Structure 1
Amino acid sequence: MSNIRGFRIQHDSLTEKQRIFIDDFSKRYTEKTKKSKNYISSNRYHLCDWMNSLGFKLSLKEMLYPIISHSSEGAYFTDIDGNRYIDIAMGYGVCFHGHKPKFVYDAIKERLERGFELGPQTVESGEAAYLIHHLTGVDRVTFCGTGSEAVMFALRIARGFTRKKKIVIFANSFHGTFDGVLGKMAEDITIPVSPGTTEGMVEDLVVLEYGSDAALDYIRKNADGLAAVMAEPVQTRNPSLRPVEFLKEIRKLADEKGFLLIFDETVTGFRVHYGGIQKLFDIKADIVIYGKALGGGMPIAAVCGRDDVMKIVDGGYYSFGDETYPDPYVIFFAGTYYKHPLSIVATLASLKEIKRNGNHLQEYTNNLTSILVEKLNNLFKQKSVPIVVHSFSSFFRFITVDPYPFVSDPIELEILFLLMILKGVYTWERRICYLSTQHTIQDVEDIVKIVDESIDEMRSGGFSFTF
């Protein structure tokens, strides 16, 4: 039976003191966020929303519902009950510039007044593509709607260009929801991870251990059959793993054997450095995927890459007034909302802000995150809390350690996050966290204080949560 969202449909083994604590905590949490809970309850039937049940645990059922937002600005949002939160979810990493940045707001407002027609193209699309080229060094850019779509097109481009089938990805990476990457290894074959994804969708997918010698050996031995190796260079699920030399070796093998190297920088692009991981690690990929921070809060993604590779999208460069023409060997590529005028002007505004600031925005958020992570890890060490915060750039994750192994999904970690929400620090259900350019050192101090208070309160309720 598949359980890809980690549902726990049996009660945890709890002491009487722990049950009393959870009951009292649930009442306080529900009272503070009752409009959110009522909204979820009244809309559960007709609004089929996967977020409602993500990470379900029967013992915490009465507190497991999304918080419903009313408004946001900077590093904060306010829910429909009027509670204000320091946001460390930041739109799953989308809101690098914070919520409602003025330069994005103004750009969207101006475009709204002019109209947001589809069909005719916009001048801003070319400007945005040029800025991506200028900042990251990619040759050419094509836009689509989401990171998942960008992954789908990147793989289609790679297979079309190389005329080969096999794709290598790595365990613990996240590449969105396209069926073609929803696989895992079972001995020597790849099987789907989700009901509804067929074996045929993943039969040409190979999932290897990221950063391992075994992965390099496989790639070397099977390179002739590979269309591409795709990596999330720093995995959001494991941000402490940064195998730079491993990636450089794959780059070398790709050059020697003719497969393509794809970087999925949906999260890292423009967040870690204005030039992304390519600039930071000094490794040039053949295809790069950007999203999240790219759009300034609006939905957009980009597939970028070498001129000779990307020409399979549009036939390549040709001129008017002569006999040149596009190459007819092109992939199928289409999308109604790609280059939507509102998303494009938001993207252009975001890119202009990044270009104007050089790398100062990234340096600020990276430094602020380092301070926060150091303070949290010192706190956990001082209080003997079995958590280590792993981070890279301005994203981070709370990882439990023995005797509360992370893979066991300890209830204590979920209680900690719910207590943080109760006290005014919000993160989403997957608990991958981000800071933005609008967070401050005071926010860092407040977050640490709330985490400290939450640990004490949990322990007072009978959860020792210690080494």
Structure 2
Amino acid sequence: MCTMDKEQANKLILAGERSQAVRRKLVERTPKSAAVRDQGEQALAQEIVGTVKLPHPIYIDHADGPYLTDIDGNEYIDLTGGFGPNVLGNKPEVVESALQEQITKGWHFGIPSTPQQTLADIVQAAGPCVDHVVFCNSGTEATMFAIRAARAFTGKQKVALFDGSYHGVHDYALIKVDEASDRSNPTHTFLGAGIPKAIGDDLMLTLPYRDESAYDIIREHKDDLALVMIEPVQSSNPRLDAGDFLRGLKSVCEECDVLFMLDEVITGFRITYGGCQAHYDLKPDLATYGKAVGGGLPIGAVGGRQDIMNTFSGKDGAPYIFTGGTFSGNPLTMTAGIAATTYMRDNQDEIYPYLMEQGNRLADEVNSFCESRQIPARLMNAGSMFHLVFTPGEINSSRDLSSEWRIAEREFYLHLLGHNVIVPGIHLAFLSHAHRPEHVDTVIDAFKASFEDLQADGLV
């Protein structure tokens, strides 16, 4: 194992024969992607999150099962999972056939259709806290509407979230911890420009993750605090050992008359059919959903206690909040969601143990390899979702992640791509039910080979 400063690492990259070789190979085999990138720069202000830069993104032509194929014809084992929705893999037949049937009837009406009610019934039955549900178009909209409902219901203004959490791209979500602040009483800054300073000063709190001092901060601000929202599994730090902390958090929120929300946009219908609510036997006041519940099409959902959800309609004298969306509840998304969630429900006894088993096997194999080679890296996983972190120490929260190894991390994903395994640029990766044991074996071999490449170049 070696450590190095930034200047040393940059010099090593320039001299790293394997890094240079794999970069050349990838550029040579993706000329069409390079051409599309050049064309796109004339119109697109920003690409969607892709994968490692080569220096160009890879553009996908089609997908099937556990595979993605780019426009140059290169096939990859897909670990992007569509950023989470594709629990059943790419283009599952059960969803494809349902969509083909719906398209013959029409794909956007603007007024309600029966698939919306059917999917609502499914989510209500699956989510322990869901008395009623509202659909929207993304996880961002879901958390934004949940915050609005909580403020209206409680009459209080502040919302608390945790360091290392991600809740979408609206102004109230783009709060990040100030790394220089006290771990047990963190302050925050913004993730990007253009967000009013007053939001951070007057309306938001940042809490320390997996730290019981968060309970005291909630008690201190209870008179102004409408909602505490948390990812039950953080995308930056995926693990399934936070049950005691989450249950303690719920208890403190009840004590302080503060609403408690689980953001299950990623974990809902992925960790188990009932999400982390079922896994931890935990019933929050509100939950947000997205990704998997739409079967791979754009979706968000808010579910929760009936009296809180009444704010969406003004029923029974509840304060009414305004929401809307041209495509909310559209029949294509609802149809895809029905097909996917029904299949997952009917096969949950096989799907979810399998995903847990294969995700744990992948992590165990990779971590054993890293330990045997003294490589300062660990594959954190919560079942089928995982994130590789480079650090020699213990990881309890995102603040334990080190930027010291960012160059090694970047080059690792480059080498992984060279071994025909593709991971999203956000580095949160996923297995699907379409990944059979032999695909997982290939991924494990690719991880090991990529680490060997890094060692050969002196980066770890």
- Are residues 76 and 52 of structure 1, via their aligned partners in 2, closer, same or farther at CA, if it must alter by over 3 Å? closer
Given the alignment, which residue of 16, 23, 28 partners 2:25? Answer: 28
Q: What residue number does 2:103 align with?
A: 112
Q: In structure 1, how many angstroms separate the alpha carbons of the residues matched to 2:431 and 2:209?
A: 26
Q: In structure 2, how many angstroms separate the alpha carbons of the residues matched to 1:10 and 1:444?
A: 36
Q: In structure 2, how many angstroms separate the alpha carbons of the residues matched to 1:207 and 1:270?
A: 27
Written as runs of structure 1 = structure 2, the 5 A alignment for 1:57-76 is: 63-76=54-67
Given the alignment, which residue of 121, 128, 131 partners 2:119? Answer: 128
Written as runs of structure 1 = structure 2, the 5 A alignment for 1:119-158 is: 119-137=110-128, 138-158=130-150
Higher relative contact order (Cα pairs below 8 Å, separated by 6+ residues): 2
Shift of 1:358: 3.2
CA deviation string 1:23-71 (max 9, x = no partner): 433221101122112211221131122447988xxxxx6x143211111
CA deviation string 1:248-275 (max 9, x = no partner): 1222222232211010000110101111
- 8 A Cα contact 1:274 1:359, kept in partner: no
CA deviation string 1:70-124 (max 9, x = no partner): 1111111111110111001111111111000111101111110111232221101
Q: What residue number does 1:164 align with?
A: 156
Question: 229-238 or 405-414: which moved more?
Answer: 405-414
CA deviation string 1:127-172 (max 9, x = no partner): 1101111112310000000001101000000000000001110000
Shift of 1:310: 0.1
1:265 correspondence with 2:255: no
- 8 A Cα contact 1:181 1:205, kept in partner: no
Written as runs of structure 1 = structure 2, the 5 A alignment for 1:308-387 is: 308-316=307-315, 327=317, 329-387=319-377
Written as runs of structure 1 = structure 2, the 5 A alignment for 1:26-425 is: 26-51=23-48, 63-137=54-128, 138-185=130-177, 190-202=188-200, 203-240=202-239, 242-316=241-315, 327=317, 329-402=319-392, 406-425=402-421
Aligned length: 441
SS, match of residue 288 in structure 1: strand
Q: In structure 1, how many angstroms separate the alpha carbons of the residues matched to 2:224 and 2:14?
A: 59
Given the alignment, which residue of 448, 452, 458 partners 1:456? Answer: 452
1:440 correspondence with 2:430: no
Shift of 1:396: 0.7
Q: TM-score, normalised by structure 2?
A: 0.90
Q: In structure 1, how many angstroms separate the alpha carbons of the residues matched to 2:49 and 2:364?
A: 33
SS, match of residue 360 in structure 2: helix
User: Runs ≥4 in structure 1, deviation > 6 angstroms?
Assistant: 52-55
* % identical aligned pairs: 29
- 8 A Cα contact 2:51 2:57, kept in partner: no
SS, match of residue 230 in structure 1: strand
Shift of 1:407: 2.4
1:431 correspondence with 2:427: yes
- 8 A Cα contact 1:147 1:290, kept in partner: yes
- Are residues 377 and 307 of structure 1, via their aligned partners in 2, closer, same or farther at CA, if it must alter by over 3 Å? same
- 8 A Cα contact 2:391 2:405, kept in partner: no
Question: 281-290 or 253-262: which moved more?
Answer: 253-262
Q: In structure 2, how many angstroms separate the alpha carbons of the residues matched to 1:53 and 1:449?
A: 23
CA deviation string 1:267-317 (max 9, x = no partner): 11010111111111111111100111111111101100000000000123x
Q: In structure 2, how many angstroms separate the alpha carbons of the residues matched to 1:27 and 1:199?
A: 45
Q: In structure 2, how many angstroms separate the alpha carbons of the residues matched to 1:107 and 1:334?
A: 26
SS, match of residue 268 in structure 1: coil
Shift of 1:453: 2.2
RMSD over aligned CA atoms reads 2.3
SS, match of residue 433 in structure 1: strand
Shift of 1:11: 10
Q: In structure 1, how many angstroms separate the alpha carbons of the residues matched to 2:252 and 2:166?
A: 23
SS, match of residue 15 in structure 2: helix
Shift of 1:21: 4.5
Q: TM-score, normalised by structure 1?
A: 0.89
